[in-house]
Amino acid sequence: MPNINIDGQRFDYADTGSGLAVLFLSGLCGSKDWFRYQSAGLADRFRVLATSLRSAGRAVYTLDLLVGDVVGLLDGLRIHHAAIAGHSLGGMVALSFALAYPDRCLALVLSSTAPSYASVPADQLISDLMLGEPRPDGLWARLKQKLLKSDLPKEDSSDPLDYLARHNGGVDRLTLQARLKLMRETDLTERLGEVGVPVLVIAGSREQPYILAGSQALDQRLADSTVEIIEDADQFHFFTRHDQFNEAVADFLLHKVSRP
């Protein structure tokens, strides 16, 4: 798996296909591996990139920091223009990238994204968005977990989301709390009118009400938005309904994006 060093932190990333670059950003507890079906299903038409958000460290965990990681990855791969796709918190990062670097963002794909989660309690966000268990904090706990090879739960082939739970990015409790704090303290609502690129807002019909309300708020305030609701799907629609998700993304990008 290729990787790149950005500001002292290593980022693994996926890179498949060629053409228009589309970067997928994971959310609260996801990882680049969650976009396996996008890497496989869209690479015949686009250059598909995927990466995980950084872990919490000594730096203050902010959207600016996460946007800087996006810039660092694109710069390292010598990509100037890209479409940015984000899931939940990754969608907020994508929006912030479009606001900070309008000359580099060609389009946005916002999956299960709301412009604000301020009204949602942290424990509800964990219950709704978290798959798998957070990794123990501390060096000894991590070493013990690695030595015992207990970092991933046993595979359950009967659960369609088992793969996501086993590849949740190994998020630790410190990082989980930092991401929850960021999501609940950020409100991008009033800045949505500044986004000058076409945006695909995509959600499942069985999403939590605050996600569906967030999708509606995005559609109402963005200057150029397209909404796709995938029937009988929840926030993991990009995985469980990947064919429909990929078709919607490909159609949107092919019809809405003019490469510079």
Confidence of residue 139 (pLDDT cuts 50, 70, 90): very low
pLDDT tens digit sequence for 68-79: 999 999 999 999
pLDDT tens digit sequence for 35-54: 999 999 999 999 999 999 99
Beta bridge partners of 9: 6
Q: How far apart are the first and last CA of the chain?
A: 29
As a dihedral over the C-alpha atoms of residue 25, residue 6, residue 152, residue 147, rounded to 10 degrees, the angle is 180
pLDDT of the residue at 170: 75
Which CATH number belongs to the domain containing residue 90 in this structure? 3.40.50.1820
Q: Which of 248, 237, 243 is nearest to 160 (CA)?
A: 237
Q: How many domains does the chain have?
A: 1
Distance (Å, whole) CA 71 – CA 158: 39
Distance (Å, whole) CA 259 – CA 106: 8
Distance (Å, whole) CA 14 – CA 16: 7
Beta bridge partners of 111: 87, 202
Rounded to whole angstroms, the maximal C-alpha distance in the chain is 52
pLDDT reading at 84 higher than 90: yes
Domain range enclosing 251: 3-256
The helix or strand, by DSSP H or E, that contains position 11, with its residue range, turns out to be strand 9-16
